[in-house]
Chains A and B, each alone.
Chain A
Amino acid sequence: MAAITLSGVVKSYGRVTAVHGIDLEIAHNEFVVLVGPSGCGKSTTLRMIAGLEEISGGEIRIGGRLVNDLPPRKRNISMVFQNYALYPHMTVRENLGFGLKIAGQPPAVVAERVAEAAAILGLAELLDRVPGELSGGQRQRVAMGRAIVRHPDAFLFDEPLSNLDAKLRGQMRAEIKKLHQKVETTVVYVTHDQVEAMTLADRIVVMRDGRIEQTGTPIEVFSHPVNTFVAGFIGSPPMNMLPARVSGGALRLADGTGIALPERLAGRAPEGAEVILGIRPDDLSPVGHGLIEAGQGAEVEMTVEIAEPLGMESLILSRLGGQEVQAKLYGPRFVAPGERLTFRIALDRAHLFDAATGRALEAG
């Protein structure tokens, strides 16, 4: 149990720089999720914390101790790998107890801790099998069990659920969350799945191209994305981004559609500024079928191109300002392609970004 601090951590592979100076403070017992598109350096960052990759610059501290030059075995961390990385020639019992045995724990202690972990993860019946005789989900559990028996200072997870099917993934996600509440430990969790990130994290770290774009609680990152990248990455379905120009106190979209500039955002963009209006699909709903109270926000007419009914809600693909947008319709209602509906935009939850830099336009 310990805090982890990264300051100016750089990783280069020859001429390629995978991580460009990352600063991150992870508090004791915090569950931090590194999220970002493929190749953004999440795994590399995690592996540097684990000591599996040498760092090319900066400092990593675990529990206040500088670990830059310590091999993985001296860092007292556990890691769960994407491919489970179980020891194929050992039984589940041996897999779980291996780290303790190596640490020189007496057999009685090993047996006790293995039993404890097996109980937490429901592995008791599988203890005498070898990994080749387990299903994916069971292997995943063994990998987690192997991590928790050692009572490490921190858990590192590298996309532990990406090899599981959707249902099992949901189940394991809940188990990981429970596990974190049970065995209080610092967790660094890597995923490219923003749903996993939102549901698990105390704090989300959004990365792109080896840099941290934003750090914050799931709600912060969701409601106050600092730029168009974070806005587009967090939230599903992704936020609609509409280029617009500020003119006469209103936003004029590419095709001339005018939308009143909401008061909340009015001060942030000067007259004539090129901006991007960000609207989440949940904030764009047909009148009477959304979460937006009547009389609020702006109203636009759009033609439905495609409707994807999901049961309690439908995803509607349409066009606004000459651009494809996704909207959400709440309640079970059939929508035919080509139907013209009046949509309401929850402008109080809309986002405004600078068109040139992509940065969120801040108040004042």
Chain B
Amino acid sequence: MTALLRTHRTDPAPFLLLAPAVLVMLSVVALPLVFSLWTSLTPYRLTRPETIGAFIGLRNYIRLFSDGAFWAAFGRTLLFLVIALNVEFLLGLGIALLINRITWGQRTLRTVMMFPMMFSPILVGFQFKFLFNDHIGIVNNALQSLGLIDFAIPWLVDGRLAMFSIIFAEVWMSTSVFAILLLAGLFAMPRDPIEAAKVDGCNPWQVFRHITLPFLMPFVYIAMTIRSLDVARAYDIVKVMTDGGPAGRTELLWTLIARTGYENARMGQANAMAYVSTVLSVLFTWYFARKLIAARRTMGGAE
């Protein structure tokens, strides 16, 4: 044992071999992290580079806690996250269950289902901005032609409707993440427990509720983790569709941070916001990861 340790200590080869990776990690991850953390402790303004040297301690953070606009954006992001994830989960589950049922054309459908994921979010934003435009948008146009309404619904102008429209666009774009992952779960599902449940007296709903759904939960948590990270950093769709408007009613964390950092040039303050928002993502990830581990523990005997 000691001999082993000694050779390791004196042999430089492992360290040399690891050095490039360590250097890359340092320059790509650690350095920017330290830099941004430092700037969040300064009154750094993009327009006045010399301010990067002025250390002001936690003042940016303290200011944040009494900043109503920030907390409104925080709350809105949370709401956005909760609604989008749940709707995507339910729709994705429905789609996965339906596709799992069909035997003909399943591959084609699986591919078609991925289409929304292939578009740039910016383009999805532009597309829905046009669809929901109150004057020339196709949604109002269709509703009016059908005689359902005789006025223009202000989809992107009313605060609540604008939020709805953005969520709609987000859901449209990303439901397939859930659908694909849950479909993979359904494919991997053993048939025996389902048959055992049928014999044990379950009707189709009970089979789904007590057997299929618990089996799918690990897949749900994986999808939730991926999507919560994704949605918590939502920026492009919002930027394009409403730019946080009307009157800041759709301002989410990252649109606010970008505005503070680039438009108002207050990078120090923006970085402080970014660090606080990261906590939100970390919390969600931690929560889902814990759920995932708990669910996976029992799936050991699923084969």
Contacts and interface: CB of A to CB of B under 8 A. Distances in A.
Given A73-B201, A77-B199, A102-B201, A132 B299 contact: yes
Most buried by A among B198, B199, B301: B199
A85 B298 contact: no
A21 interface: no
Interface stretch (A86-94, A267-275, A352-360): A86-94
B230 interface: no
B297 to A, nearest CB: 8
Nearest to A78: B199
Given A87-B211, A102-B206, A146 B302 contact: no
Among A77, A79, A85, A90, the one with the most B-chain Cβ atoms within 10 Å of its Cβ is: A85
User: Chain B binding site: helix, strand, loop or mixed by DSSP?
Assistant: helix
B203 interface: yes
A90 B190 CA distance: 15
Interface string A38-56: 0000000000001110000
B210 interface: yes
Interface residues of A, number: 30
A130 B301 contact: yes
A147 to B, nearest CB: 9
Contacts of B210: 87, 98, 102
A99 B201 contact: yes
Interface in A95-141: 98-99, 102-103, 130-134, 139
Interface centre among B198, B201, B297, B299 (most CB of A within 10 A): B201
19 contacts: A50-B199, A51-B199, A52-B195, A73-B200, A78-B199, A81-B192, A83-B190, A83-B303, A85-B190, A87-B197, A87-B211, A89-B215, A98-B200, A99-B201, A102-B202, A130-B298, A132-B298, A134-B301, A150-B200
Interface of A: 50-52, 71-73, 77-79, 81, 83-90, 98-99, 102-103, 130-134, 139, 146, 150
Given A72-B195, A73-B203, A79-B199, 14 more contacts: A71-B198, A73-B200, A73-B201, A88-B215, A88-B300, A88-B301, A89-B295, A98-B197, A102-B202, A102-B206, A130-B300, A132-B298, A132-B300, A133-B300
Interface of B: 190, 192-193, 195-203, 206, 210-211, 214-215, 295, 297-303
